[in-house]
Amino acid sequence: MKNLFLSLFILLGIHAQAQTTLCEQTYTTGNYYVFEVAIPTTGNGLPTMAPLYAYTNTIQDVWEDSCFGGPCTHTVYNEYGEDTITTCIAYTLTDSEGYVDTLMCCFSQYWSWNSDSWLPLGGDVTSTWTCPQNAIGCYEVFDGSGDYATEAECIASCDSSVNCNGSIEITEENGQLIANVYDVNLPVSYEWSNLENTQTITPSADGVYTCYIVDADGCDYVTTFTYFNFDFCDSTWYDADFTEADGLWEVTLSGYINESLNDLSDTVIHSFTVSPSNDFMSQYGSAGSYPHSWSPEFALSLSTDDTLTICWSAVVYADGLNAFPQGYSEMCNMDGEQMLCDVWFWDGEAWARSTSVTSTIGDLNMNDAKLLKVIDALGRVVDEKSTNKLLFYIYDNGLIEKKFIVE
């Protein structure tokens, strides 16, 4: 897969010195423009090595594949016709005492027009080592062009104990998003996906934002978050499905969202109050691919002489780890605290929704209203006397009260 290479960390181990590297155990197949590097795990007489990821730099692109500690295949596209290409592999090395080090090796290959294959550059040339400025550890070079003859000399030449265990936290303040860094070597550089290069940005549009950070040691960090627009009522709706059974009609209600909400852990609640059943239903779920739909557990048998009044609303609660802003959106299809309603009727051929006017269920006199149930932000039924949480009180006349009771 073609990806921007974002290395998180490379720690050079000193517990064990390998006589061979994982690069020497690879096998390359393919043609001049597309080839694959097979990367194994080793053992059975060889040092115990397992690949983490591999990357290859070409003229304008970086090709990276994750291995997750198991055998994998690294695919490279030689789009610009390079005759020599270098591939690097990050891998773990476990010694006889159980110490695990994370190492990096690199090797170069050249295209042989005689054999129509990729071959190791330099043949049996002794590998050398190099330690680029701000690099994390030493890199092995197989064409003899390194700065040091041995790994030990290379380790002595550069800081091989750089700590890349820092972290990033995104916070919001007055509509601005701030990238906070912890446990890194200052100064750091910032690069946002909207091309800004400051620590703080003011999002101008909804969508996914990515922040890339490099500290003074060359450690790379990245975080992604979603800036969410709560104005989603134009793209959410409900529908009623009528199915005939033994001369009567059963009804199923479904709520739909047709907008790409935050994919982290937003919660969407669809609420229904139905007459003549006066039964309240709610569905919720984590956002994912859209359109997204929920169907409450509801069945009501009707004859064609009956009418059905349905009051419906929807609300989204953003509670994702990296979702901004957080909290409740406006409630859709509401008139104040009252859900708006539709009347469904038999028009002689099918069940039709009245679109001429909206209506409400019964008289909104709170003295006559009966409390059906109390739910929390996730649609779960809770005790009406619960404290220190946001609650929705649902009444049989379609009224919804939103309360937050502090103990």
Q: Are 96 and 180 in contact (CB under 8 A)?
A: no
Q: Which of 227, 258, 273 is the last residue of a domain?
A: 227
**First and final CA of the chain: distance in angstroms?**
54
Q: Looking at the structure, tell me whether residues 347 and 254 fall in a common domain.
A: yes
Tally of domains within the chain: 3
The enclosing domain of 326 has a CATH number of: 2.60.40
User: For residue 151, what is the enclosing H or E element?
Assistant: helix 151-157
Which tokens in the block code for residue 18? 């390998």
Distance CA 115, CA 242 (A): 69
pLDDT at 37 over 90: yes
Task: Kindly tell me the burial class for residue 368, based on how many C-beta atoms sit within 10 Å of its own C-beta (0-12, 13-18, 19 or more).
Answer: exposed
DSSP 293-304: EE--S----B-T
Whether residue 151 sits in one domain with residue 27: yes
| Residues 6 or more apart whose Cβ sits within 8 Å of residue 387 | 405, 406, 407
**Do 356 and 267 belong together in one domain?**
yes
- Please tell me whether residues 117 and 206 are part of one structural domain: no
Q: ∠16-17-18 over CA atoms, to 5°?
A: 115
- If we measure between CA atoms, which residue out of 227, 214, 226, 293 comes closest to residue 257? 293
Residue 215 shares a structural domain with residue 294: no
Judge if 341 and 320 occupy the same domain. yes
Is 205 within the bounds of a domain? yes
Predicted TM-score (pTM) of this structure: 0.37
Residues 139 and 179 reside in one and the same domain: no
Q: Among residues 104, 139, 157, which one ends one of the domains? A: 157
Cis peptide before 40 (omega within 30 of 0): no
**Span 13-30, pLDDT tens digits:** 333 344 689 998 999 999
Domain shared by 113 and 217, yes or no:
no
Mean pLDDT of 168-189: 84
**Residues 244, 186: one domain?**
no
Which of 227, 247, 274 is the C-terminal boundary of a domain? 227
- Domain extent at residue 305: 233-365
Express each pLDDT in 136-146 by its tens digit.
567 777 666 77
Q: If you average pLDDT over each of 16-20, 35-39, 108-112, 332-336, which comes out highest? A: 35-39
Report the SS3 class of residue 41.
coil
